[in-house]
Structure 1
Amino acid sequence: MGRRRQTLTEDKIRHLKAGSGIHRDDRVGGLFLDVGKFKRSWKVQGTAYDVLRSDGDGGHEFADRVDMRHTLGQWPAMSLDEARKAAIDALALMKKGIHPARSSVGALYTVEDLYNQNDKRLERDGASEVNRRNIMGNATRHLKDWMPKPLAEITTDMVVERHNVIAFDDGHPEAARHLFKEFSAAWNIFRELNRKLPECPVPRRRLYAKRSMEGAEDKPLHGDEWSRFWQHATEHPDQLKGLSLKFNLLSGTRPVNTADLEWRWCDLDAARVNYPGSVMKNGARFVLPLSGAMLDVLRQARELWDGPLVFYRRPAAPGHKRWREQPTRERQPETGEWVRTPRPLSGLVGHRLRHSHSNVCRALGIDQDMRNMLHAQRVEGIADVYTSRLFQFPQLLEAQERITAEILRRCGVAGGK
């Protein structure tokens, strides 16, 4: 009988027997009076659906249903009318997945929680492991001191200041752009589940000057840039770095795949590199045919270095894009103004080399599907690499030899040296 809903009044409450237990109010669903032997407490109980809750390890996870209970106060210090008003406000928070005792979700969750939940969402949506690792790596690298901070403490001024440090002081504008694009996406998706969270502190306007299209990173090499690039790679003070640039151009692989190339994936006798799917952007394994000039580059690298990586003496940090980490601005000590500085060879490293390789493929009339196979891109109707009879490895190796010969001709290299 004590749990049955009833119309509570101040007079009824005054005459309730001590220790009679729970008495529910019929005016506000979820509000009840817990009558003990020595005190009478106003409490409210509610349910939230599809919200975040603690996973027991310091983080949070999605839950289909969460029941919450909260003590509002003691009778008679809190009257019946005051308890009903407080219960309505508390139930509204509970429906959003926010415990009334922690009414600010921005104070409840930290930046680390934000990225952990975003990583779980990406995994649930089928995102590749490489993409997820890069996002977490960017955050760990550039926002390490932000991780324990509550979301409510992150302001627009902090975002702009950190962006300027990464983009201008450190000279990594692309890293800054990617970092806060990912941060903004994670915040806005998190806010859809927790409307109590404040708006994203990343301003909607551009945080950095628009990059000049002259010598853009996605523009293929042309004219004398071919010979200038090859000379730059040959005369590079770090011989391994110079060899990696040559291999990047001759293979057409993504720069990160060149940087992460390991000797255990290389089969020089079979003239191929067997990339595992875990390091590829599309998550599928990839076999790269090696032309004669590419084999020469790898053999030269082996003579210089016998570590686990082919071209680098240590692994790259997660999210660290070596091919974009060249300063493009510098501060003038006299005036304090930022002045754009040209990159060496106007950005002749990175995706320009991949696109240059693709441009040579088109110039030689190589079929689109075969180009996709050479560049580790999906081919319509093929579930995995080299499963179609039309694209056997010998044919791809022959095409790679033709492409290499044309690249060396454009670079003005005699005999592929």
Structure 2
Amino acid sequence: MTSSALRLTQSSVSALPLVQPGDAKRQRLYFDTDLKGFGLLVGAKAKTFFVQRDVNGKTVRTTVGRYGVLTVKQATEEARALLFQMTKGINPNQERRKPGAVTYGDALETHLTSNRGLAPRTASDYRYLSEQYLSDWLKRPLSEITRADCRDRHKKIGTENGPYVANHTFRVFSAVYNTALKVHEDLGVNPVIAVDRYKEKRRKAAIPSAQLSTWYGYINDLQDPIRRDWHLFVLFSGLRRSDAEAVRWEPDPAFPRAPIVDFANKAILVPLPKSQEPFYLPLSDFLLALLKRRRDCEHAKALYPASGWVFPANSKKKHGHIAEPEKPKKNKEGETVKVLPVPFTVHGLRNTFITVAESLDLSPYAIKMLVNHSLPDKQDVTAGYISAEVERLRKPMQQVTDKLLSLCGEKPTGKRHAPAKKAA
């Protein structure tokens, strides 16, 4: 692993691109030119601050924290304190290994930074649930959190926020604790063993077939054409919300996870979905027409000039694309809609796609590949021989589209696109 010298500032760190798939160097090191021993490690998913210097004749490196969780200024202050300890012969890594010194917050950071298979969305959920419902435990030593504490907090969250939130929160805590156990053997048995989780039923969020035409009419009457087309895109593509909202016209190194429209192959490339395995999603005639309408839309060009996003917006998260989960509240006339004619969630649109696909008696493998679900290769050896090629999925994708259009009250075109170029 090679290293470079760089003055670590908010702008310079922000500008550094993450390591791209296929890059020969899986990690890059940058040492600060101002504070000796302070550095930044850039990987495929995160940028992590660290300090490094000799302690008692041995080179020691210890993590300060992730960029984004810490600003450069905050990380520099933490680094100064750690470097000062190291000049006194104190090894921060050894201090952190002491069971009594390991807090839940420490263990959470270790879990998020060491688990390479954790999707960014999942990591964000772990952090949110911990900060929202276990915030008073973040600075509390893990060794002091008892079975009774876990049982009482689980019940409290279940009563105030619902059983699903309570169960999910303690799945997170349990996973973090188990990660800490790999290093700190003296922590003892995971206290979540005392938690009796609530029974859960799979929640069905799909829009009933009989209500799809009403939903479709409501969406087509929306005042904002970008948001209108985005909702239609989610339904007819079956993509996860996080992928559907971040589609770009062209690749950009600054957004390595963003799906890309590939008109040449009549598909969308999703480079880093939740499964972490890149896949091509074939575009039906409806989706092709929708994307061409977005590309040529003068309204969007005037509001968001030079935007690379397919669904641009002045989002609260400042990504530049649609990010708000709120449902649209006004129609074309600007009238406020107090009650939605058909209650729905964005995730429910994906569920609707899956429900309609299953109603067509399509191959279960084709459905799984269309929605990027893991194939059951551990239970079924046949799945291991199936290749998720874009052309193989084009016909079932069009079948789902035609059925959705029929349920929405539209007449399917019946058009089938000529075979596209093979996806690279």
Closer/same/farther in 2, CA of residues 407 and 58 from structure 1, 3 Å limit: closer
After TM superposition, the structure 1 = structure 2 runs for residues 79-118 of structure 1, keeping only pairs within 5 Å, are: 105-106=99-100, 108-118=101-111
Question: One-letter code of the match for 1:366?
Answer: L
Matched, 1:385 2:373: no
SS of 1:224's equivalent in the other structure is helix
CA contact 1:227–1:412 (8 Å) conserved in 2: yes
Equivalent residue for 2:265, pick from 259, 267, 270: 270
Write the distance in 1 (CA, Å) between the matches of 2:164 and 2:158: 12
Closer/same/farther in 2, CA of residues 176 and 294 from structure 1, 3 Å limit: farther
- Give structure 1 stretches of 5+ with no counterpart: 1-53, 60-96, 327-342, 387-391
> What is the Cα deviation at residue 183 of structure 1?
2.3
> What is the Cα deviation at residue 282 of structure 1?
1.6
After TM superposition, the structure 1 = structure 2 runs for residues 71-150 of structure 1, keeping only pairs within 5 Å, are: 105-106=99-100, 108-123=101-116, 127-130=117-120, 133-135=123-125, 137-138=127-128, 142=132, 149-150=139-140
Map of 2:276 onto structure 1: 283
CA contact 2:282–2:394 (8 Å) conserved in 1: yes
> What is the Cα deviation at residue 233 of structure 1?
2.1
Write the distance in 1 (CA, Å) between the matches of 2:278 and 2:358: 24
CA contact 2:205–2:344 (8 Å) conserved in 1: no
CA contact 2:247–2:309 (8 Å) conserved in 1: yes
CA contact 1:221–1:353 (8 Å) conserved in 2: yes
Map of 2:204 onto structure 1: 218
CA RMSD of aligned residues (A): 4.6
CA offsets 1:45-96 (integer angstroms, 9 cap, x no match): xxxxxxxxx953457xxxxxxxxxxxxxxxxxxxxxxxxxxxxxxxxxxxxx
Q: Highest CA radius of gyration, 1 or 2?
A: 1
Write the distance in 2 (CA, Å) between the matches of 1:161 and 1:378: 33
Instruction: Identify which of structures 1 and 2 has the higher relative contact order when contacts are C-alpha pairs closer than 8 Å and 6+ apart.
Output: 1
Write the distance in 2 (CA, Å) between the matches of 1:232 and 1:203: 48
Map of 2:393 onto structure 1: 396
CA offsets 1:127-170 (integer angstroms, 9 cap, x no match): 244465435553686479668623368766995699489948xx
CA contact 1:249–1:357 (8 Å) conserved in 2: yes
> What is the Cα deviation at residue 285 of structure 1?
1.0
Write the distance in 1 (CA, Å) between the matches of 2:293 and 2:365: 32
SS of 1:274's equivalent in the other structure is strand
TM-score by length of 1: 0.53
Closer/same/farther in 2, CA of residues 268 and 159 from structure 1, 3 Å limit: farther
Write the distance in 2 (CA, Å) between the matches of 1:261 and 1:190: 37
> What is the Cα deviation at residue 275 of structure 1?
0.9
SS of 1:298's equivalent in the other structure is helix
After TM superposition, the structure 1 = structure 2 runs for residues 315-354 of structure 1, keeping only pairs within 5 Å, are: 344=340, 348-354=344-350
Question: One-letter code of the match for 1:105?
Answer: P
> What is the Cα deviation at residue 407 of structure 1?
0.7
> What is the Cα deviation at residue 364 of structure 1?
3.1
CA contact 2:283–2:394 (8 Å) conserved in 1: yes
Aligned-pair identity in percent equals 19
CA contact 2:126–2:172 (8 Å) conserved in 1: no
Map of 2:141 onto structure 1: 151
Closer/same/farther in 2, CA of residues 163 and 202 from structure 1, 3 Å limit: farther
CA offsets 1:26-47 (integer angstroms, 9 cap, x no match): xxxxxxxxxxxxxxxxxxxxxx
Equivalent residue for 1:358, pick from 336, 354, 366: 354
CA contact 1:248–1:255 (8 Å) conserved in 2: yes
After TM superposition, the structure 1 = structure 2 runs for residues 186-201 of structure 1, keeping only pairs within 5 Å, are: 186-191=176-181, 193-196=184-187, 200=191
> What is the Cα deviation at residue 410 of structure 1?
0.7
TM-score by length of 2: 0.53
CA offsets 1:217-270 (integer angstroms, 9 cap, x no match): 535433422112212322345443332221111112222221232232112343
SS of 1:283's equivalent in the other structure is coil
SS of 2:281's equivalent in the other structure is strand
Write the distance in 2 (CA, Å) between the matches of 1:223 and 1:186: 41
Closer/same/farther in 2, CA of residues 345 and 255 from structure 1, 3 Å limit: farther
Write the distance in 1 (CA, Å) between the matches of 2:324 and 2:229: 14
Question: One-letter code of the match for 1:381?
Answer: G
> What is the Cα deviation at residue 188 of structure 1?
4.4
